[in-house]
Amino acid sequence: MDYWTSSVSVDDEFEKLALRINPPMVTVDNESDKKATLIKVDSANRRGSLLEVVQVLTDLNLIIKRAYISSDGEWFMDVFHVTDQDGNKLSEDKVAERIQQSLGPRGRSFRSFRRSVGVQPALEHATIELTGRDRPGLLSEVFAVLADLKCNVVAAEVWTHNSRMASVVYITDEVNGVAIDDPERLSKIKQLLLHVLKGNKDRRSANTAVSVGSTHKERRLHQMMYADRDYDNDVMDCAPTSDRTKPLVTVEKCADKGYTVVNLSCPDRPKLLFDTVCTLTDMQYVVYHGTIIAEGPEAHQEYYIRHIDGWPISSEAERQRLIHCLEAAIKRRTSESFDVFVMQGIRLELCSEDRVGLLSDVTRIFRENGLSVTRAEVTTRGSQAVNVFYVTDASGYPVKNETIEAVRKEIGLTILRVKDETYSTSPPQQGGKFSLGNLFRSRSERFLYSLGLIKSCSCAFE
């Protein structure tokens, strides 16, 4: 054992001892605030505690209206004003137990991996990570290759931003439904998916990997896109976004206290706090104090931070980098294309009996009708597939109602539903197909077929 490994082990054991002596205290208060439940967390201070608490609240689908953060010294205290998704106070206090489990000595070995995936324990599936240049039909090609390789997708999440795509896909063997652990087979899966990701324009930066460990799924997606430099404006080749919805991020000095002050304002949305805290943590910053207010359409966040070495930001280059990274973290879930009304596309929800090849067939139909998937969430609950897709047309513009209705008719009106307040159902045009779809299909399938990634240039939705 070398010195580094030994010292890490000693520090880890010391931290566990400190947590046993001073276990975290979580209280749930439904009396102090008329409109929200107060969750107060007191615990020994260690790096990452804030993110773990926010992660638990996010996984419980709670809406954070206000938050006050203080972690100077050896102790930290956080206060969160939260509601459920309907704006009501919490009716049960299981949240306290969940937070205590996360922060306690056993929390480091058991994160909310299963909650974020929504399927079997981690050992019962293999995890594939993908990053590459986004393009219309890419997701369809990925799922087509996995189906052809006899892999069943039990869960997945896909993000796109700044012309880049990142995805975490959980797969099992199609025949026996268990994790694929054959190194040769996994190597083949990675190599074939890499061919798909590279396409004709992404020869250098496309990447596939089998993930190790149980990092929170959405945190891992942030890490992957950050490593892929989706925040870099120099490589940005998508259309400019509207100034009216662009996040306002400032980073300034607080010389008298030795902090860097980060202020952030943008339209409020679920999981915004998680996205910003996750980015600060993974960029090696520590939040010493913070105030979050999100009680209206706008969210305002203020953080007093230092780098993990104890120093504030000292260079203009680092200041600009932090601004760009926080802007990217906010926009990954709400990717704009051309104007204020085009955020991440129309939300389509698919619920049906799960079966092998379902995702391949559904995304193929999207591609044939000229739809581009900007974000996707795939889960399996028992025998049911519960999937969410955000779609635009191939150029990033809103999809015409008749095109959506044609897709729904082909997949099943009761299976695929539209969840979008601005959407109104209208009868599909005669024929129901978007004429450019066959072009997408033929080009895409010829490309996959030429690489030997699929055995046939046609398939049917069963």
Is 262 domain-assigned? no
Tokens found for residue 318: 């680092």
Q: Is residue 205 part of a domain?
A: yes
3-state helix, strand, coil in the chain (%, to 5): 35, 30, 40
| Residue ending a domain, choose from 64, 79, 110 | 110
H or E stretch including 282?
helix 272-282
Does residue 303 belong to any structural domain of this protein?
Answer: no
**Whether 163 contacts 181, CB under 8 Å:** no
DSSP string, 222-264: HHHHHHTTTT-GGG--SPPPPTTTS-EEEEEEETTTTEEEEEE
Single out the residue of 235, 151, 236 nearest to residue 193, CA to CA: 151
Question: Interior CA angle at 246 toward 243 and 249, to 5°?
Answer: 120
pLDDT score for 395:
86
Contact criterion met (CB below 8 Å) for 327 and 321: no
pLDDT in tens, 214-250: 678 999 999 999 999 999 875 444 444 555 567 999 9
Cβ atoms of residues 44 and 90 within 8 Å:
no
Query: How confident is the model at residue 31, as a pLDDT?
Result: 92
Query: What is the total count of domains within the chain?
Result: 2
For residues 3 and 128, membership in a common domain is answered with no
Question: In the chain, what percentage of residues exceed pLDDT 70?
Answer: 74
- The strand pair at 126-133 and 164-173 is best described as antiparallel
At 82 the three-state DSSP class reads: strand
Whether 428 is in a domain gets the answer: yes
Judge if 49 and 197 occupy the same domain. Answer: no
For residue 282, give both structure tokens.
């993974």
Query: Could you tell me the pTM of the whole model?
Result: 0.82
Torsion of CA 25, 28, 33, 37, to 10 degrees: 120
Q: Please check the confidence at residue 426 and state whether its pLDDT lies above 50.
A: no
Do both 29 and 79 map to the same domain?
Answer: yes
Q: Please state, rounded to an integer, the average pLDDT across all residues of the chain.
A: 81
Residues 60 and 147 both lie in one domain: no
Residue 283 has pLDDT above 70, yes or no: yes
Question: Which residues contact residue 272 at a Cβ distance below 8 angstroms, ignoring those fewer than 6 apart?
Answer: 266, 294, 299, 301, 330
Both 92 and 127 in a single domain?
no
128, 50: one domain: no
Confidence of residue 445 (pLDDT cuts 50, 70, 90): low
Tell me, yes or no, whether 103 and 195 share the same domain: no
Please give the residue that has the higher pLDDT: either 168 or 2. Answer: 168
Alpha-carbon radius of gyration of the chain = 23
CATH of the domain at 35: 3.30.70.260
pLDDT band at 202 (very low <50, low <70, confident <90, very high): confident
> Domain check: are 39 and 98 in the same one?
yes
If asked whether residues 218 and 354 sit together in one domain, one would say yes
Residue 318 in domain: no
In a domain, 276, yes or no: no
Q: Are residues 142 and 102 in the same domain?
A: no
On whether residue 50 sits in a domain, the answer given is yes
Highest mean pLDDT among 85-99, 105-119, 301-315, 330-344: 301-315
| Same domain, residue pair 86 and 207 | no
Judged against a pLDDT cut of 70, whether residue 254 lies above it is answered with yes
The pLDDT score that the predictor gives to residue 446 is 52
Task: Select from 110, 137, 167 the last residue of a domain.
Answer: 110
pLDDT over 70 (residue 162): yes
pLDDT tier for residue 386 given thresholds of 50, 70 and 90? very high
Asked if the structure places residue 419 within a domain, the reply is: yes
Average confidence (pLDDT) over 286-292: 96
Please say whether the beta carbons of 433 and 126 come within 8 A. Answer: no
- Compute CA 23 distance to the chain's CA centroid, rounded to the nearest angstrom: 30
Judgement on whether residues 358 and 225 belong to the same structural domain of the protein: yes
Q: Which pLDDT belongs to residue 450?
A: 52
Tokens encoding 261: 């002050």
pLDDT at 201 > cutoff 80 = no
Residue 152: strand pairing partners? 172
The residue segments making up the domain with residue 347 are 122-232+341-450
Tell me which of 110, 136, 160 is where a domain ends: 110
Is the per-residue pLDDT at 149 higher than 50?
yes
